[in-house]
Structure 1
């Protein structure tokens, strides 16, 4: 019988090599510790897998039948022969990997799978005893081994076991992984200075998969430093801090571990990127591919459980790009938290809202549908009218096709409104603080749409001339001025050569609308309404 004692110089040299290996591994652990993430676990949210080593693996060494276990040196094989020749003994696998069977000789069994051992031995017996001798062979005991366990475990050391014992047995013998600093996904098995396998315990925790690994005398199990982690909580089946390797991960990968509640449909993600805290509130389908960086906090919610909202800010501001506010927060509660830059135009703050953009889209589609119905259902009285209507209908259909491609911005006009500060914010609102402008843009039906330096002495006619003059299709009777704050002014031709005072300001867009070519009064009216709706809603002039 093989015992746990060292019985040969060769084995002693193997252990000396392992001691050197453990010193290298200790140095590696030290280096890992110096570069490990300094993030601390969030209070109240457990580290995924921290309860794994409460299951008493060290008290239950594996002694059952494992068909995939491969016979190795030092194992004990129970062999029985009967019939014309009888023999019964427990045979050790010698240093050459053989067992010695009387009358048969040495049989090399090292590397044979346990489930195939009996048939393998019987074939060798039959080569000598052609008839009337049967054989039965089974693994009686696997080889006792001593395995080093080091790194981020509670009690590093050298532990006794068997080569058939799993890595969990040795980790549990060492007091388990330190949940605050040890890795559950980066556990290396080192043999004679070479890493032979990296074990990810998440595969065992989630899918029950454990690598088929046979440890040998002197092997080293090294638990690396904890990698980056994210916290996932809320509408999930198990709130936890989840570890990942690499610079970032995706929420979809984390939810393979921390299963979402079937009714979870939104994710609130808060994390620091390049030193700036960011927060996003996304539909779950969209959030699955979102990048998560170490320290990110994710809360899955059901849409009827929303208790906070996320507001994006941009422009001339310092500080976070996203603010998370309580549900029911007002515009004023956001503004007092903002740090405005000196060149920001506070008087022209822009607020964009998805629900407003959706309503603008619906209103535009409704107007386009009505125009299309008007054109398609009109009945001509003469052949001449029929031909003209055909050309007119084709032109209007092309216009409708272009108009449906326009995307409203959803700007909420907050200028000149004393109640704007008390307006409730909605989740997903975007607030923009524009730069103090010094130019005026002129767009639409002019020869050279451009931006010009603002001069309060110039008239609208001056700006049109500087843009090359009106194009042939321009509506010369009225111009639209769109201000940064979303308000508009419509100026008729009587004021084109007058100074406009506050009606024209730096940052404005002078919009020259197209002339409508239609003999039908109702069609002309409908198209004009749609053109102005597009101009105000999308800040664009659509040619006709």
Structure 2
């Protein structure tokens, strides 16, 4: 579909503009015809269409739920019996000897002895000819040298010792919180928390946290453990459990779902009110070819959807429940369309790539005060083209104003004043931000227009007012009266200012079309051209003796008025 300022359907005069936004639509699908006819017939006839639309929406919600459910909870496969069936019998160097541990001792030389000695309740082992040696609390790495020093106190020479920890203390540990089978479980003090959680059936996937596991001793927190560190990097804190310790799995925190072009599609948990995609991708690991991200989430009770380059999405805030789909530029399968205004239902629709305007329209549920004939479509790519065209025009105007060669000294003085005025105007004009509206009215194939990802559709309410802005004394909104003329509305707004262009004005219609009315029609009743919801735009008068400069500035002023729905003074 054509777009840009030159194709914004500007009409001159009264007769050239006929209001037929949807009457001219070509071969519409039957579903679209039914919706249009139902709306025209009145709210009483909406029940069948509403039922059909609600059914379609319910089916889409079920599809969305099924899609989200395909992404597993990250870490869901961690606890499947592998840990509880393989208790850990080794000891790390920092393990501290505890009551009940079994220590293997061998002495040789002038005195020989070999036995496995238990650490008694006082924390001692008893060595014949040496006596009790208090080993409780000694690190495993220091155990051999520690025992040998005590042996040397009795046997000054010719006796050597070899000591190793043969078995750790049997303990009973409570496992509770959000696990499948809370209870008291047997093990050894050297066993990891993975062994005990696995023995309790693992973390409850729908309600338990993988990043908030606490170990308590005598009701005091001794360690907070994030199992993602083990899942991603294989690291686990060296923790020595004691009899009566408690392992408490906390409730699940907020989470986001990452899917699409990632190595590990998953529901990933995070702490805090929000997170960033960059942090989550350290876990999910993006596909090397992924270059865009589609983000759908609820912010301030409104569903939002965005599609952006991956490098921009990395720092975007994500809230619990967000669904992020990483895509390769060549593999886009769906687009997100934001809808707002007088509608019931979702704020964002996800449609197949290649969907048309009609595919979206048949799913909309209009409110009773909606104006479906003035549907407005805003597109980022159109706004960018409008902005680029405006910048080119401003560049050309600047070149024209600054390079013109004056013929006389009198013209030289006038040129300086004109150049300053134009430079000030250009500085203001460069700040204008076009809305990127795609005009749908009076276009026979509007329903077949392809939608783009990020399009925004606005359904305005039926209006009973008309606005007048720009170069009038009191810009205002007035109750529309079809008996009034443009001249009447100007007078009600206080009349023209001294800077007003009284030869022609612009009417911006609610559906995005434009009418330019010359002064000889100001006192006529413009039936069909002047309508409720319109915006009467009084343009400024161009104060320049140069015909080309006047023409360029006039074009720019009209372009800004149409593209931004605002009048820029000159």
TM-score category, normalised to shorter length: 0.7 to 0.9
Q: Secondary structure at the match of 1:515?
A: coil
- TM-score norm. by structure 2 comes to 0.79
* Map 1:114-129 → 2, pairs under 5 A: 114-118=140-144
Q: Which residue of 2 aligns with 1:162?
A: 188
Q: Which residue among 222, 227, 230 is the counterpart of 2:256?
A: 230
Change (3 A) 1:382 1:223: same
Q: Which residue of 1 aligns with 2:472?
A: 446
Q: Secondary structure at the match of 1:217?
A: coil
1:291 and 2:291 correspond? no
How big is the shift at 1:331?
Answer: 1.1
Q: Which residue of 1 aligns with 2:405?
A: 379
Which gives a bigger RCO, structure 1 or 2 (Cα 8 Å, sep 6+)?
Answer: 2
Distance in 2 of aligned mates of 1:365 and 1:127: 93
How big is the shift at 1:313?
Answer: 0.7
1:460 and 2:486 correspond? yes
Q: Which residue of 2 aligns with 1:3?
A: none
CA contact (8 A) 2:94 2:141 kept: yes
Distance in 2 of aligned mates of 1:297 and 1:225: 21
Change (3 A) 1:543 1:276: closer
CA contact (8 A) 2:90 2:190 kept: no
How big is the shift at 1:292?
Answer: 3.1
Q: Secondary structure at the match of 1:476?
A: coil
Q: Which residue among 324, 331, 343 is the counterpart of 2:350?
A: 324
Distance in 2 of aligned mates of 1:308 and 1:453: 43
Q: Secondary structure at the match of 1:70?
A: coil
Q: Secondary structure at the match of 1:189?
A: strand
* Map 1:2-81 → 2, pairs under 5 A: 42-54=68-80, 56-78=82-104
Higher mean displacement: 430-439 or 74-83: 74-83
CA contact (8 A) 1:278 1:323 kept: no
How big is the shift at 1:127?
Answer: 8.3
1:213 and 2:239 correspond? yes
For this pair of structures, how many residues does the alignment match?
Answer: 505
How big is the shift at 1:41?
Answer: 9.6
Change (3 A) 1:390 1:272: closer
CA deviation string 1:52-106 (max 9, x = no partner):
2357323433333412222323334456678998877655444344556788876
Point out where structure 1 has 5 or more consecutive residues left out of the alignment.
1-38
Change (3 A) 1:519 1:69: same
How big is the shift at 1:213?
Answer: 1.7
How big is the shift at 1:379?
Answer: 1.7
Q: Secondary structure at the match of 2:538?
A: strand
Distance in 1 of aligned mates of 2:126 and 2:88: 27
Change (3 A) 1:386 1:128: farther
Distance in 1 of aligned mates of 2:211 and 2:390: 54
How big is the shift at 1:311?
Answer: 0.7
Distance in 2 of aligned mates of 1:450 and 1:130: 107
How big is the shift at 1:527?
Answer: 0.8
Distance in 2 of aligned mates of 1:120 and 1:160: 30
Q: Secondary structure at the match of 1:268?
A: strand
* Map 1:83-482 → 2, pairs under 5 A: 91-99=117-125, 109-118=135-144, 138-153=164-179, 156-179=182-205, 182-224=208-250, 226-245=252-271, 249-271=275-297, 279-288=305-314, 289-294=316-321, 296-482=322-508
How big is the shift at 1:278?
Answer: 5.1
How big is the shift at 1:315?
Answer: 0.7
Distance in 1 of aligned mates of 2:406 and 2:299: 64
Q: Which residue of 2 aligns with 1:5?
A: none
CA contact (8 A) 2:91 2:190 kept: no
CA deviation string 1:443-471 (max 9, x = no partner):
11122222222222222222222222222
CA deviation string 1:295-317 (max 9, x = no partner):
x4332111211111111111111
CA contact (8 A) 1:40 1:180 kept: no
CA contact (8 A) 2:338 2:349 kept: yes
CA deviation string 1:221-275 (max 9, x = no partner):
3445555543321100111233345665544443222111122222233456787
